[in-house]
Amino acid sequence: MKALFTTCFAVILIISCAKWVSPQTSPPGPTLLTDQNSAQAAALDSVTLVRDPLPVVNRNNFSDDRRTRLTLFGTNVELMPGEDASAITASARDSRSGNHSLTVEFVGKIPTLDSLTQIVVRLPDTLAQAGEVWISIVLRGQTSNEVLFNVEVQTEPRLVTLAARRVTNGQDSFVDSVFSFEHGVNGAEAVPLTRNDWDIQFGNNPSLDAFTVTMVVDDRSRIQDMGALNWGDAFQVPVISAHPVPTTEPPVNAVVGHMYVVHTRDSNTDLYALFRVEALEPGKSVTISWKSVQSPESN
């Protein structure tokens, strides 16, 4: 009962602050709600009920894929008998004019507000780190207005130290040698979140200070050494297309001062990240600064 009350209160609150065109004067096509005197989408995280900016990967989401579901609100979104959520398509246009399909997972009326419909969409990996995007929906060939939504962006690199993988006195340092750019974590406490699906590993070969990115059986991930670079330098994130089929990517040597790009690709993930080697203790550990970035493939 408390959860239902909280959900209804959040919906009522956002509607009271939204621009809502009366059904009597609305155009026949679908219309997405915006804030008053703004193009900003009247939208909520479907789980936490908070406003944007929202990340694409959300550890507060309890779904298996950990992807954010966004609830949009609209008028003139009437499903006909026999229709379901598949009758509506949704898309987002980013600042590079790239178009991204959003999976529509639910369409339903707001209780006591029959003229208002909620549309729940799943944010795809291709929108990660995209910043401002414009979302619209299409119902039976009619396209709605575009509404502005902010995808959370990691603006500054963060530091993490990875231990070289070793087995000492029967203790395997595996969870300290790996890292998830997707969730920004490593170590034993991160296993329930990552489900032991990591993006990079350091020092798996005792004779080599190197990074590997093949971590799961369906991995198609890639890594590339971009050479000596600082975060403040002018450079473009290169496209490194994922392997077409699961493939073991060769290890890449760790070099202090070098920048690397990683394209993590498997059945559940399609994300890009950059990292720079800040310090290296040969055979022991490496310290990297890292940052999730928008996929250059969306250009």
**Same domain (yes/no): 164, 70:** no
Average pLDDT over residues 123-150: 97
Looking at 85, 116, 150, the residue that finishes a domain is 150
Over residues 61-82, the mean pLDDT reads 91
Q: Do 135 and 206 fall into the same domain?
A: no
My answer on whether 164 and 146 are in the same domain is: no
Exposure string of 64-75, with b = 16+ CB inside 10 Å and e = fewer, is: eebbbbbbbbbb
pLDDT, tens only, 23-49: 445 457 999 999 999 999 999 999 999
Q: Minimal CA–CA distance to 85: which of 142, 137, 7?
A: 137
Q: Are 146 and 201 within one domain?
A: no
Average per-residue pLDDT in the chain? Answer: 91
Check whether residue 90 and residue 193 sit in a common domain.
Answer: no
pLDDT surpasses 50 at 1: no
Are 134 and 166 part of one and the same domain? no
Structural domain range at position 116: 2-150
CATH number of the domain within which 12 lies: 2.60.40
Q: Where is the domain boundary, 104, 124, 150? A: 150
Answer yes or no: do 139 and 25 share one domain.
yes
pTM for the model stands at 0.89
What the block records as the tokens of 154 is 């990691």
Quick one: pLDDT at residue 210? 98
Same domain, 121 and 195: no
**DSSP string for residues in 262-278:** EEEESSS-EEEEEEEEE
Q: Cis peptide before 23, with omega less than 30 degrees from 0?
A: no
Same domain as 180, residue 145: no
Please state the domain count of the chain: 2
Position 239 scores a pLDDT of 97
- Asked if residue 90 lies in contact with residue 71, where contact means CB atoms within 8 angstroms, the answer is no
Residue 21 has pLDDT above 60, yes or no: no
* Contacts of 125 by beta carbon, 8 Å cutoff, 6+ apart: 56, 67, 269, 270, 271, 295
Domain boundary (150, 169, 188) is at 150
Q: What are phi and psi of 271, to 5 degrees?
A: -135, 155
